Structure 1
Amino acid sequence: MELTGTTHAATTQNNGSQNHLFALSALTSLFFIWGFITCMNDILIPHLKNVFALSYTQAMLIQFCFFGAYFLVSIPAGILVKRIGYKHGIVSGLVVAAIGCLLFYPAADTHLYSLFLAALFVLASGITILQVSANPYVNILGPSETAASRLTLTQAFNSLGTTVAPFFGAALILSVAAAGSAEMSQAELVAFKAEEASAVQIPYLIIAATLFVLAAVFALLKLPTIASTPDPKVTANAHQSSIFSYRHLVLGAVGIFLYVGAEVSIGSFLVSFLGQENIAGMSEAQAANYIAYYWAGAMVGRFIGAAVMQKLSGGVVLAFNASVAAVLLLIVIMGQGALAMWAILLIGLFNSIMFPVIFSLALNQLGERTSEGSGILCLAIVGGAIVPLLQGVLADHLGLQLAFVLPFFCYLFIVFYGVKGSKPASSMVTKKG
């Protein structure tokens, strides 16, 4: 039976010094695939916005349904993983995500936006189970001192998936929209809209097949079973009455909420932002290729960050990166042309280490309650549903460029968390009788 381990003294049942390289290597494929799937939303948003003639707010329902699944499914997923173990949690998540991808086929056939949203919810439910299973598993496959670096390295492969996805989506989905630019009669336009909707069918069938294959592979793999040994530094903390009494965990959950919200908002509006005449005036298909620069920056930054955090603390690196991201957003809000375009794309580089570092810092010293903490942090990923929707409202009322003030304030909180909020409060180590 698989148990939740501490971030300080996790050992395998067979040998405490066992090399976990194979397990970490296998897990990187999961980080790649869910990064790929999540980034496909950045292609779906402009595509379905055009197909169904949606406002910015309506288009952001794509992210609302996708990341809303994290809010509804994270805690049940945490309970499920605690019961069936990390490995079976991974397999379950892959199967559920594959079923969600299959639902895109009837959604396109019926030409119903609501069914697309339902498919996204099911798909995201599977990804949530994967997140709850894989993130803490990586965290405990080694010493706590290098947990942030280890999780950052595996997250780099998540960014590889987000880098590849825009090219995949632009070629198989947005290219259909570009092909329909000629003048059409009303009947031809209706037929073309139906064809545009059906453009998602083949790509998501391919993704579904990949997920089923991965589920079969992980079902057959022999991953190390993690058991826990008591850590004297966290024994007292393990018996606190409420998981919410850990200040650094609660603030970390807020940090995850705001970071994911900011990252998703920026990615969601990139195609529309680069299409603005005062920025780059690009077509959707052209702009989609530039999304890859945003996510490639995150990939490169995670490899760099994994090395840097062998020497510097995660909190220091987090505060620095969030500060630079905030400055770049000021340029996005006030600038124009190539300056604003490259400023928004460069944010990806500084986003790179934020999620894994916040995640690791928030789980620090939770001991036996690491699984509960992971569930709460994954719950906070609902920020990817709320923040983009709010930015969509701002974009409809204030204009797209000014709406980026919302993620700017998100990064300011992350600076605070890196500097101060991530430190476990010493007053909470013991509890009065």
Structure 2
Amino acid sequence: MSKTNKLALLPVMLCFFAMGFVDLVGIASNYVKDDLHLTDATANVFPSLVFFWFLIFSVPTGMLMNKIGRKKTVLVSLIITLFSLLLPVFGESYGLMLVSFSLLGIGNALMQTSLNPLVATVMKGGNVASTLTFGQFVKAIASFMAPYLAMWGAQASIPAFGLGWRVLFPIYLVIGILATLLLFSTPIEEEPIEGKASSFMQCLSLLGKPIVLLSFLGIMCHVGIDVGTNTTAPKILMERLGMTLNDAAFATSLYFIFRTLGCLTGSFFLRVMNNKVFFIISVTMMALSMLGLAVGTSKTVLFIAIALVGYGNSNVFSMVFARALQSVPDKQNEVSGLMIMGLFGGTIFPLFMGFASDALGQIGAVAIMAIGVLYLFTYIPKMNHK
């Protein structure tokens, strides 16, 4: 790898950290629910709204990358993200938080679609899969810091600039500004796009390929379970163990600690182990977790279940994403856009989980996530042996 590429890898990894800001929505929606006295269904609109924009913006972002290049698209996504983090500093009314989370979702849709292919540009044919997994590890650090920053801000002994739990927004804003400036000042050479860029319908027509469609659904389930656990785990602890929100917020961090561990060890396992075997182990861990979350009534069982889904779900995205990219090597920008559109699963799952938990308690939410795990079992035959 040339010296320039090594230099470019630092701002790119800082962008992965900024990509993790989106995961603050799980814990933030719990605090907003508490502050504004909302129902589960109304509070779950926040995570749903964040991921709704993936449906709208992912494929157009794939086309925008073909026009202005990958680096410029990532810069646009960072600027939108910075605006989303600035708004909650001014208050936390329902309307303001809706706008903030919408912008966070739009910025993240652009970033997820353009940053993964930018890694391929920087690596120039190096080990893209394990670099992507390492990027996911960096992203997970931002994810698991969010609940801690919110808890720290919410402690009454620290006024936290009068922001309470919202102190996490300005902290992430500063890091976001740093990522933007670093990426802007780093030269990255991009290959020009050969031939005519695909139209919107040509991108969507790739879903006609069974492996692309099944991978798209796989990513929907992965993200639905991810956002679902992130939002529901604290509620399960509050419902079954009578914990306060501040104590239960640890569940979100526990999930991300194991997801971070999963990404870190996964980048090693994916190099030395048959991908299909690793995929089977991951999905089995998730299935055991759903069982624990459905019936567990002790702290030990519930914590083990949260840890299992964190580790099991940590590499599903990288494996399914890589499988889809291999299937259509000449249309990687377009396939990237479609796969990121699958993050729309983060909208559908929390919405249904909100209704199910209002009706049946948190076991209803777990049942919805379990459907996603069952689907991932059906994806196993599609995984490569490589």
Q: TM-score, normalised by structure 1?
A: 0.80
How far is 1:335 from its partner? 2.1
Separation in structure 2 between the aligned mates of residue 28 and residue 166 of structure 1, nearest angstrom: 21
Of 135, 141, 145, 2:116 maps to 135
Larger mean Cα displacement after TM superposition, 242-251 or 254-263: 242-251
Q: Which amino acid aligns with 1:366?
A: V
Shift of the 201–334 alpha-carbon distance from structure 1 to 2, 3 Å rule, reads closer
Equivalent residue number for residue 141 of structure 2 = 160
Q: Which amino acid aligns with 1:166?
A: P
1:314/1:361 contact within 8 Å kept? no
1:323/1:412 contact within 8 Å kept? no
Of 58, 73, 77, 1:89 maps to 73
Unaligned stretches of 5+ residues in structure 1: 1-16, 181-194, 231-238, 425-433
Separation in structure 2 between the aligned mates of residue 229 and residue 305 of structure 1, nearest angstrom: 34
Shift of the 241–288 alpha-carbon distance from structure 1 to 2, 3 Å rule, reads closer
Separation in structure 1 between the aligned mates of residue 306 and residue 285 of structure 2, nearest angstrom: 11
In the TM superposition, 1:43-82 aligns within 5 A as 43-82=27-66
Separation in structure 1 between the aligned mates of residue 88 and residue 14 of structure 2, nearest angstrom: 23
Separation in structure 1 between the aligned mates of residue 52 and residue 161 of structure 2, nearest angstrom: 26
Shift of the 303–201 alpha-carbon distance from structure 1 to 2, 3 Å rule, reads closer
How far is 1:54 from its partner? 0.8
Q: Which amino acid aligns with 2:360?
A: L
Alignment of 1:175 onto 2:137 = no
Deviations 1:135-192 (A, max 9, x none): 12224555879433231122111111112221111111x335x999xxxxxxxxxxxx
Separation in structure 2 between the aligned mates of residue 302 and residue 415 of structure 1, nearest angstrom: 20
- Compute the RMSD of aligned alpha carbons: 2.8
Count of aligned residue pairs for this structure pair: 377
Shift of the 313–146 alpha-carbon distance from structure 1 to 2, 3 Å rule, reads farther
Alignment of 1:266 onto 2:229 = yes
Of 266, 279, 295, 1:318 maps to 279
Alignment of 1:297 onto 2:258 = yes
2:220/2:344 contact within 8 Å kept? yes
Separation in structure 2 between the aligned mates of residue 179 and residue 211 of structure 1, nearest angstrom: 24
Equivalent residue number for residue 185 of structure 2 = 220
How far is 1:227 from its partner? 5.5
2:52/2:347 contact within 8 Å kept? yes
How far is 1:229 from its partner? 9.1
In the TM superposition, 1:178-193 aligns within 5 A as none
Of 89, 99, 102, 1:121 maps to 102
Of 338, 342, 356, 2:318 maps to 356
Equivalent residue number for residue 236 of structure 1 = none
2:54/2:109 contact within 8 Å kept? yes
Of 299, 302, 308, 1:346 maps to 308
Shift of the 142–403 alpha-carbon distance from structure 1 to 2, 3 Å rule, reads same
Of 318, 331, 336, 2:297 maps to 336
Shift of the 393–116 alpha-carbon distance from structure 1 to 2, 3 Å rule, reads same
Separation in structure 1 between the aligned mates of residue 203 and residue 26 of structure 2, nearest angstrom: 41
Separation in structure 2 between the aligned mates of residue 216 and residue 143 of structure 1, nearest angstrom: 23
How far is 1:55 from its partner? 0.8
Shift of the 144–308 alpha-carbon distance from structure 1 to 2, 3 Å rule, reads farther
Deviations 1:310-342 (A, max 9, x none): 122333312220121112211211221121232
Separation in structure 1 between the aligned mates of residue 172 and residue 263 of structure 2, nearest angstrom: 25
2:225/2:369 contact within 8 Å kept? yes
Shift of the 53–241 alpha-carbon distance from structure 1 to 2, 3 Å rule, reads closer
Q: TM-score, normalised by structure 2?
A: 0.89
Equivalent residue number for residue 205 of structure 1 = 170
Q: Which amino acid aligns with 2:36?
A: F
SS at match of 2:22: helix
Alignment of 1:25 onto 2:10 = yes
Equivalent residue number for residue 254 of structure 1 = 217
SS at match of 1:275: helix
Larger mean Cα displacement after TM superposition, 87-96 or 148-157: 148-157
Larger mean Cα displacement after TM superposition, 24-33 or 258-267: 24-33
Identity of aligned residues (%): 22
2:77/2:110 contact within 8 Å kept? yes
Of 69, 83, 88, 1:104 maps to 88
Deviations 1:92-114 (A, max 9, x none): 111011011122234x1xx5312
Unaligned stretches of 5+ residues in structure 2: 196-201
SS at match of 1:222: coil
Separation in structure 1 between the aligned mates of residue 217 and residue 162 of structure 2, nearest angstrom: 36
How far is 1:198 from its partner? 4.9
Q: Which amino acid aligns with 1:267?
A: N
Separation in structure 2 between the aligned mates of residue 119 and residue 229 of structure 1, nearest angstrom: 37
How far is 1:220 from its partner? 0.6
Separation in structure 2 between the aligned mates of residue 303 and residue 268 of structure 1, nearest angstrom: 23
Deviations 1:87-134 (A, max 9, x none): 11111111011011122234x1xx531221111101221111111111
Deviations 1:191-245 (A, max 9, x none): xxxx999535543233223322321221110124246899xxxxxxxx9993223
